[in-house]
């Protein structure tokens, strides 16, 4: 989990912005997850107890003003032992292109964690949504849907 937090902090520094982290997008964390307050309108974290009751699942949303988000730059920021499993361009919100990255790293307890990230631009803002959970645990389908909901708010 520490590795993921370092990656998120790097992402928040790489992306500058202001206002609410969810302003202008249709992102919704799954019901029952605990939310932290938005950090300077740039980052917010949601957590829930992992199935093993020893760790947590975490969703993180980072908002910035860059139109050139590069997920490849996050692991190279001194994060360390992230093993890339998949990196591709995906379609979200029906017809919007986004970058998808998945990998694994050791959590704070030494337990392997799975990380999935989606990066997309909505208007002039860049977003990174990240979902982290113990590798031994099945992914939460609602959390996976949430990170792919970097869609403009429907009018």
Residue ranges of domains in the chain: 2-147
**Alpha-carbon gap, residue 135 to 62, rounded angstroms:** 23
Q: Give the pLDDT confidence of 80-131 residue by residue, as tens digits.
A: 466 777 889 999 999 999 999 998 887 666 678 888 999 998 888 889 999 9
Q: What is the model's pLDDT at position 16?
A: 41
Q: Which one is predicted more confidently, 153 or 75?
A: 153
Give CATH for domain 2-147.
Answer: 3.40.1000.10
Q: What DSSP letter does each residue of 75-133 carry, written as one string?
A: TTTTT--PEEEEEEEEEETTTEEEEEEEEEEE-TTS-EEEEEEEEEEETTEEEEEEEEE
pTM for the model stands at: 0.77
């Amino acid at each position: 989990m520490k590795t993921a937090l370092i990656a998120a902090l790097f992402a928040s520094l790489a992306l500058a912005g202001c206002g609410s982290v969810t302003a202008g997008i249709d992102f919704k964390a799954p019901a029952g997850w605990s939310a932290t307050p938005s950090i300077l309108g740039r980052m917010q974290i949601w957590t829930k107890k992992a199935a093993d009751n020893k760790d947590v699942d975490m969703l993180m949303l980072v908002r910035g003003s860059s139109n050139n988000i590069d997920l490849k730059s996050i692991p190279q920021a001194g994060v360390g032992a992230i093993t890339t499993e998949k990196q591709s361009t995906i379609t979200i919100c029906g017809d919007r292109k986004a970058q998808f990255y998945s990998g694994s790293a050791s959590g704070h307890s030494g337990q392997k964690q799975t990380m999935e990230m989606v990066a997309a631009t909505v208007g002039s803002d860049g977003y990174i949504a990240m979902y982290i959970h113990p590798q031994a645990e099945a992914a939460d389908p609602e959390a996976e849907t949430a990170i792919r909901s970097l869609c403009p708010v429907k009018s």
